[in-house]
Amino acid sequence: MMFALRAPNLEVKIAVNDHFINAYTDLTNEKIGIQDHLFDCLAGGDLDGAIEVIRRLFAAIPWRHFTQNDLADSEGYYASVLYAFFSSLDAEIIPEDVTNHGQVDMTVKLAGHIYVMEIKVVDAERVEELDVNPALKQIQNKGYAKKYRGIAGATVHELGMVLSRELRNLVMWGW
């Protein structure tokens, strides 16, 4: 027998995601300011500002979370951190958003903006070799954002994020 669990209301959903954020990061005292800043950036379509907030978020993950495990190697780990943070903003999130050509890591809908996001994790030394953002290239080559184009009142953003295993943070991004 399988059960699907969901939060009974917005307050519980936000509280649960706040606990995840506290577990992922050391941002307990700064969390509300970061959430407010990220919300403002996403609601205004400010991708430069959103990237800086996301880099700050990943920089706040304690190094001991990465010891004796392979979390830094997993796109899923970084997607989970972002999912918890975006959920705490009460954004609509579609993880592993399926299209006719595959699936993008995450789509976030907030205040008339739709953010189609792909995450790639690479070795630090490989970043210098990259002449193009592989995450953004995948979004564009697979047409992941096509199903959202033409929705009245929505601005669609394709956001490719590349993280370094060693640096454990964003090292390349583009839209």
- Residue extents of the structural domains in the chain: 10-174
pLDDT at 147 over 90: yes
More confident residue, 30 or 80: 80
In angstroms, how far is CA 133 from the centroid of its own chain? 16
Residue 6 three-state SS? coil
Q: What is the CA radius of gyration of the chain?
A: 16
User: Which stretch of DSSP H or E encloses residue 171?
Assistant: strand 170-174
Stretch 131-143: mean pLDDT: 95
Q: What are phi and psi of 2, to 5 degrees?
A: -115, 145
pTM for this one?
Answer: 0.72
CB half-sphere exposure, 161, CA atoms < 13 A:
28
If one counts every other C-beta atom within 10 angstroms of the C-beta of residue 44, the result is 12
Structure confidence at residue 125 (pLDDT) = 72
Which pLDDT tens digit goes with each residue over 74-109?
677 788 788 877 877 878 989 899 999 999 999 999
